[in-house]
Structure 1
Amino acid sequence: MADFRSKADVPFLIILAMSFGMCLVVVTAKLERFAHSPHRRDGSLIFLVVGDWGRRGAFNQSQVAFQMGRIGENLDVDFIISTGDNFYDDGLMGEHDTAFEESFTKIYTAMSLQRQWYSVLGNHDYRGDVEAQLSPVLRKIDSRWLCLRSFIVNAEIAEIFFVDTTPFVDMYFNDPEGHTYDWRGISSRKDYIGNLLMDLETVLRESTANWKIVVGHHAIRSVGHHGDTTELVEQLLPILQDNNVDFYLNGHDHCLEHISDQSSDIQFFTSGAGSKAWRGDTKGLNRDNLKFFYDGQGFMSVQLWQDVLQILFYDVHGKVLHRWSTSKQPHLAI
């Protein structure tokens, strides 16, 4: 895992945190933890979610970015979450790869998007130089960028747990298409996954946040091209169910979708339509629990209050395609 605790990096992280209203919390746990305070007086939290986007503006990436900027301004968002596959087709070549600015800095130019971006790695990112995406050098080029393997954002009424899902998938360790992956930092896959699941289970169990959100690149449930990720269904889903996670956000399938869990209150939201979409490419899974599916480009917004959650999905024109809300009893301070 990337180590951001070196003496050289600490001052930069402190400056970065102060610039975006967040602070780095030094903890002994293996998962880095960041605090991001909502800026509204009522304590509500609003953010956008987009995935599978980095194509130098092509495949409607620029149009999606434009609508994100418009909606982001209307909602006054706190930050943006990227669900991975940040740079196509094969991640970044290095810290100074021009794809970073051409696919990120020069595309998401709206004032409302000049907020912190919290990003996870996708399988396409692992095909390039993984360490480059994790590097503080990128944050010096564009201070919005924050990408780690797995980490936590504490946003007061919500805790958001980012999980590195690519190492879970068996296929990538013997890719039938011959792709190679950058596994530096993962000397033992078994230990890496085991430690990550143990750490995640611990922090989820100890969390007192009113809303618990988990983010990963790969879908747990999907009707899209890739369908369910079996390894996550077997290893990650039971932990989410046992620890009262409210919803799971992912990309990977190039679509927008909402699926309910069969045996818990967890909702699965796919936002992987930031650029190239796969029209008509679906599987026959999860139909009974499917609430919404759209096979074009778009993104989603999440609005949280102490007792209310509202999710909206938007298409490439900014039209609202699906709206879902729920309520719960807020946690009382002890």
Structure 2
Amino acid sequence: MVKAGYRLLFLGGLLSWLCLASPATSELQRLQHRVKPDGSLSFLVVGDWGREGNYNQSEVASQMGVIGEKLDINFVISTGDNFYDCGLTGEDDPAFFKSFTDIYTAPSLQKPWYNVLGNHDYRGDVEAQLSPVLKEKHSKWVCFRSFILNAEIAEFFFVDTTPFVNEYFTDPRQYNYDWKGVEPRDEYLFNLVKDVDSALKASSAKWKIVVGHHTIKSAGQHGVTVELEKQLLPILEANDVDLYVNGHDHCLQHITSTDSDIQFITSGGGSQAWRGKISSWKPEEMKFYYDGQGFLSVNMTGDRADLVFYDVFGQVLHKWSISKQLHDAA
């Protein structure tokens, strides 16, 4: 398609520039997670949750525990905004216990939590969330800026999306963002784009899933993140990514693409939701939208992925399957 062609040209030019202008960078942090004995993989996805149990966070957590046990999940993915309103103040911030360890207490949720950072996390002490001290406090906590999780049949590429957004630098309003480890911003972003593209190209996994906090396609309050649409989306399209999973908009939604096979999944209903915050979207792309609290489950084999959205009561809201053999979504 013409639109896709322009994106590929843009991508080629961008990466050529990066190769010439950017210093060499180390590869992204790589982690490993084994599949189940039958070769399958199950996990939950929740985002925008850390409110000390308020705004139905505790109720969502309870239902996550029920579904987590039913599916015998391998792990949980958090799509960011882990601690409201302004991240953690430090490694000893009691919010870590009040919003995380004291809330997600179900036995089935005592599995690794693979986390990305959201914009609210950047309003606090970012390095506190990245610190190994938190993992010592609770072994299930796993958080890096950007990293790769190799789960045998699937590879997950966790991308630090907050530094892409211009507004946080040009108009931060009353907030102070913690940019330690990010500045100089241009170099950070160029190296991140380059590393993600290289990792996706090198991946031989049957499934490629990219996780970030910010939306690429969304009919929610925040809508499309234009910086990611321009800088990250061409890479996803060029490297046959199956799913882009995000939070940021406090809703649950499933959007397809007319330009590629990518499924765009928002799971940002971990606590406070924004009732009535929905914009018009192409009906041929919008498969599901729910402006309430909830979460997502994914069960995968080598050739099939079953995805289900649940509400705060554990009721199924939307489900669909993707077949690698048919390259289509049902």
Question: Common fold, TM-score beyond 0.5?
Answer: yes
Number of the residue aligned with 2:210? 214
Are 2:68 and 1:72 equivalent residues in the alignment? Answer: yes
| Cα distance in 1 for residues equivalent to 2:68 and 2:171 | 38
Deviation digits for residues 129-158 of structure 1, max 9, x if unmatched? 000000001001111001100000000000
Mapping for residues 1-334 of structure 1, pairs under 5 Å: 29-38=26-35, 40-175=36-171, 177-329=173-325
Note the alpha carbon deviations across 1:210-231, whole angstroms, 9 max, x for none. 0000000001000000001000
The answer for unaligned runs of 5 or more in structure 2 is 1-24
How many angstroms does 1:262 deviate by? 1.7
How far is the alpha carbon of 1:283 from its aligned partner? 1.9
Aligned AA (1:280)? G
Q: Secondary structure at the match of 1:204?
A: helix
TM-score (norm 2): 0.90
Between the aligned partners of 1:59 and 1:175, the Cα distance in structure 2 is 28
How far apart, in 2, do the equivalents of 1:234 and 1:287 lie?
Answer: 23
State how far apart, in whole Å, the 2-side matches of 1:157 and 1:176 are.
40
By how many angstroms is 1:287 displaced? 4.1
Distance 1:176 1:112 in 2: 39
What TM-score comes out, normalization by structure 1 length?
A: 0.89
* 2-structure distance, mates of 1:91, 1:221: 25
Q: Within 1, Cα distance between the matches of 2:274 and 2:173?
A: 19
Contact 1:54–1:275 (Cα < 8 Å) also in 2 = yes
Please give the alpha-carbon distance, in whole angstroms, between the structure 1 residues aligned to 2:317 and 2:108.
Answer: 22
CA contact under 8 A between 1:79 and 1:115: conserved in structure 2? yes
2:173 counterpart SS class: coil
Provide the rounded CA distance (Å) in 1 between the counterparts of 2:182 and 2:292.
35
> Contact 1:308–1:327 at 8 Å: present in 2 too?
yes
Q: What displacement does 1:187 show?
A: 2.0
Root-mean-square deviation (CA, aligned residues, Å) is: 1.2
Q: Which residue of 1 aligns with 2:15?
A: none
SS state at 1:34 partner:
strand
Cα offset for 1:42?
1.6
- One-letter amino acid of the structure 1 residue matched with residue 151 of structure 2: A
Unmatched 5+ stretches in structure 1? 1-27
For 1:329, the aligned partner's letter is: Q
User: Residue type of the partner of 1:125?
Assistant: D
Aligned residue identity for 1:63: E
Would you say the 8 A contact 1:118–1:146 is kept in 2? Answer: yes
The size of the alignment, in residue pairs, is 302
Residue deviations 1:241-284, cap 9 Å, x none? 00000010000000000000120000000000000000001122
Q: What percentage of residue pairs aligned between the two structures are identical?
A: 63
- Conserved? CA contact 1:221–1:286, under 8 Å: no
CA deviation profile, 1:166-187 (whole Å, cap 9, x unmatched)? 0000000022532110000012
| Equivalent residues of 1:79, 1:117 under 8 A apart | yes
Q: Which moved more, 1:176-185 or 1:240-249?
A: 176-185
Is the CA contact (8 Å cut-off) linking 1:223 and 1:287 kept in structure 2?
no
Deviation per residue, 1:17-65 (Å, 9 max, x gap): xxxxxxxxxxx94300001001x22210000000000000000000000
Aligned equivalents of 2:142, 2:290: Cα separation in 1: 29
Q: Which one-letter code corresponds to 1:34 in the other structure?
A: L
Q: CA deviation at 1:285?
A: 3.6
Residues 237/281 of structure 1: CA separation in 2 closer, same or farther (3 Å cut): same
1:98 deviation in Å?
A: 0.1
Letter in 2 for 1:186: V
- Give, in whole Å, the separation in 1 of the partners of 2:182 and 2:311: 37
- The whole-number CA distance in structure 2 between the counterparts of 1:195 and 1:173 is 19
